[in-house]
């Protein structure tokens, strides 16, 4: 079965590199027009160019998703330049590596702001567009949106396995899962599906040699390879497609085991 996203418009946050870039490229290859978000304009445009060079439709859309005004501008730009909004992939994250005893408040807050608050802001604002709610006091029974799909990228850190010296990151990732479940419940009435993907160790983002990875990491000992960013992107594509139209409020863990 071929998974297609023809005539769909997607925003992928944190898509200037790594998993996010692969997700954006995969959605575009399936027919979606993609707004490539990254806090770094050059990275965002680089991914967008890679999509256009292979015949896809994409724009670079820089912005800090921890800022609600920049989130709103990102969404407005996407709708104006690509003609709508059907899919949101919340992928952007930061992960400072400091022991709790020396972690400063700024690093903690910035991590929560980008990873968790950013997921909330983008889900709220994109959800309103997908639901056709342009006034927050609108009657839910009288909305005329066409619905949509939200996919959140979380991590095993904070959900199944702690990650050394990354307490803020772990807290934010656990928060994403809880938020997504409630988001799915509330957004169901608007025909908006919300799911979460939890990758294990992904080779494109890991700097740890395979032989040194903690055996407690779920699934590593059961497989001969690390996960690839394409493994994550393929799962996101499935969740964005009509093939998963009866799936919402779910959390898919990709650990190879």
| Short-list 8, 66, 6, 2, CA closest to 37 | 66
The whole-angstrom separation of Cα 57 and Cα 48 is 8
CA quadruple 111, 116, 241, 133: dihedral sign: negative
141 φψ region: left (φ > 0), alpha (ψ -120 to 50), beta (else): alpha
The whole-angstrom separation of Cα 143 and Cα 141 is 6
Catalytic residue among 92, 119, 169, 218: 169
At 64, list the tokens: 């800090």
| Short-list 67, 5, 65, 79, CA closest to 37 | 65
Catalytic site includes residue 190: no
Contact criterion met (CB below 8 Å) for 187 and 133:
no
The whole-angstrom separation of Cα 251 and Cα 243 is 16
Residue with tokens 């972690």: 103
At 113, list the tokens: 């702001």
Bridge pairing between strands 57-62 and 251-254: unpaired
The angle subtended at Cα 169 by Cα 172 and Cα 124, nearest 5°, is 30
At 200, list the tokens: 């294990």
Q: Which residues pair with 144 in a beta bridge?
A: none
Q: Catalytic site residues?
A: 169
């Amino acid at each position: 079965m071929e998974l297609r996203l023809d005539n769909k418009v997607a925003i992928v946050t944190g898509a200037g590199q790594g998993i996010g870039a692969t997700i954006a490229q995969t959605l575009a290859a399936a027919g979606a027009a993609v707004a490539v978000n990254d806090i770094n304009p050059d990275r965002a445009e680089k991914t967008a160019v890679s999509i256009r060079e292979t015949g896809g439709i994409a724009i670079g859309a820089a912005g800090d998703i921890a800022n609600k005004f920049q989130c709103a501008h990102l969404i407005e730009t996407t709708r104006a330049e690509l003609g709508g909004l059907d899919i949101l992939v919340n992928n952007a994250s930061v992960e400072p590596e400091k022991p709790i005893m020396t972690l400063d408040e700024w690093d903690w807050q910035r991590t929560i702001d980008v990873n968790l608050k950013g997921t909330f802001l983008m889900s709220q604002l994109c959800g309103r567009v997908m639901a056709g709610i342009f006034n927050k006091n609108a009657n839910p029974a009288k909305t005329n949106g066409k619905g949509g799909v939200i996919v959140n990228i979380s991590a095993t850190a904070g959900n199944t396995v702690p990650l050394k010296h990354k307490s803020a990151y772990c807290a934010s990732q656990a928060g994403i899962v809880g938020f997504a479940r409630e988001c799915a419940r509330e957004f169901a009435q608007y025909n908006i599906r919300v799911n979460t993907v939890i990758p294990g160790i992904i080779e494109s983002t890991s700097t740890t040699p395979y032989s040194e990875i903690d055996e407690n990491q779920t699934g590593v000992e059961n497989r001969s390879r690390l996960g690839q960013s394409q493994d994550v992107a393929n799962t996101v594509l499935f969740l964005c497609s009509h093939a998963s139209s009866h799936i919402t409020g779910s959390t898919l863990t990709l650990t190879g085991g």
